[in-house]
Amino acid sequence: MTSQTEILDVALIGGGIMSTTLGTLIDTVLPNRSTALFERLDHLAGESSGPWKNAGTGHAGLCELNYMPDPEDPSRAEQIAHRFQVSRQFWSALQDLNSSFLNSTPHMNVVFGETDIEYLRRRWSTMRTLPLFRAMEFTDDADTVRQWAPLLMEGRSPDERVAATRHAGGTDIDFGALTQSLGQSMEATGCMIRTGHEITGLRRGRDGIWTLSGRIVKSGKRFHVRSRFVFVGAGGYALRLLQKSGIPEIDGYGVFPFGAEFLRTDIADIVDRHDVKVYGRPSLGAPPMSLPHLDKRMVDGRGSLMFGPYATFSTRLLAHGRLRDLFTTIRPRNLPVLLSVGLQNLPLVRYLIAQLLSSDTKKFEQLRQFYTAADPADWYRIQAGQRAQLIKPTSRYRGELMFGTEIITGADGSIAGLLGASPGASVAPAAMIEVLERCFDSERAEWEPRLRRLIPAAAQPSSAI
């Protein structure tokens, strides 16, 4: 551990994909900075970045229908596709990165019934005019769908109308392995990685230097570290730490926590007949990120299938958090905003209650909408990571529930934090480039030329990536 008198250049809070991406990026384009990472668990990627805490989709706008509710407006899907290109170039440029985290896995959509088929056809007609989606295929022929994804058509009535799109350029990503590999790369170049160290407080001194206070989890011993720049990439705990920092930019923000369960099978005979990620349309009232999907996963060289998500609820803000977590984030400045968002999202509340009350039999019927021949004996439940959806103030008394990620920075650029969820991990490099632009602008002459050589796609404005 650094001494009380030593001042770090960069302190990273949280051992997930965001902190390790930013640490690696800074190490690459701003070398020779003293950096330390602090993680409360005893290993990296123990929360939402873990391989079974998410669906492993490389979000590139190929199959996520929630990114394009209007089939004639591809702007959101195109933006995410560009941001994912930045990720691919960044990962490819890191020579020491173990590439086993990324597997080629086609991305599909499947819909049933004339209304949804017409929507999918219009969406495909729009997207195929754009360079990043030009290879996307469409079919309303059942035999073609069967070739693309045999499980989808197994046991299905020949009279049922079905359509699908497919893009062979999709990916399945083990974000846990990626995070671990980035952490090893950081450590090899001098970054101090301290697992089992929980940051509990942030305070900025009159000299502009931040003091991070915390405890060593196993011993309970307290420690303090000073740093010129702080990044809060602590998932659900990011809001609470940013509130403790005292920066006014966080006033009014809140979070709404919910988790997810998936059904999983590892039976080779089933897994080997489904080599794609297939996304459908969400249920009425469901949040945009709850699109049902049946995914091929590759973790540690073994294949599995996952289906979900099924919403769960807890007042914890991390899977390994505490039941009081949510209540510790409530402040006089955000309470009116939280109440207004609750009233604005009654369909979401009803959806969550229905999900929580659903029986195992009813949940399994949702899988059978994709795989009609599924046998409950072949599947088991797994718990995904806990999500803290961002509530953003739009006025003193009103707010908006955001289904995405947002970067909060202090006015002087000495602190930044990331709030929100999907598409998060997939576009981490683009998000962390935005942190560079906001917080290291005075050093732009040093880092920008290196960044452009490292990631040509990053030459576009941050609004595009």
Domains of the chain are: 7-459 (3.50.50.60)
Average pLDDT over the chain, rounded to whole? 93
3-state DSSP call for residue 376?
helix
Question: How confident is the model at residue 462, as a pLDDT?
Answer: 44
Residue 285, pLDDT score:
52
Is the four-CA dihedral 328, 329, 333, 338 of positive or negative sign?
negative
pLDDT of residue 287: 61
Residues 418-452: tens digit of each pLDDT: 998 767 899 999 999 999 999 999 999 999 999 99
Instruction: Give pLDDT, residue 4.
Output: 54
- Express each pLDDT in 81-123 by its tens digit: 999 999 999 999 998 888 899 999 999 999 999 999 999 999 9
CA distance 277 to 114: 23
Task: Output the pTM of the full model.
Answer: 0.94
Q: Which of 175-184, 215-224, 345-354 has the lowest mean pLDDT?
A: 345-354
Q: How far apart are CA 11 and CA 28, in angstroms?
A: 16
For residue 281, name the pLDDT band (cuts at 50, 70, 90). Answer: confident
pLDDT at 365: 94
Please determine, for residue 3, whether its predicted confidence score (pLDDT) is greater than 50: no
Q: What is the pLDDT of residue 91?
A: 96
- H-helix or E-strand spanning residue 257: strand 254-265
> Is there a cis peptide before residue 423, judged by omega within 30 degrees of 0?
yes
* Confidence at residue 352, expressed as pLDDT on a 0 to 100 scale: 80
323: pLDDT strictly greater than 50: yes
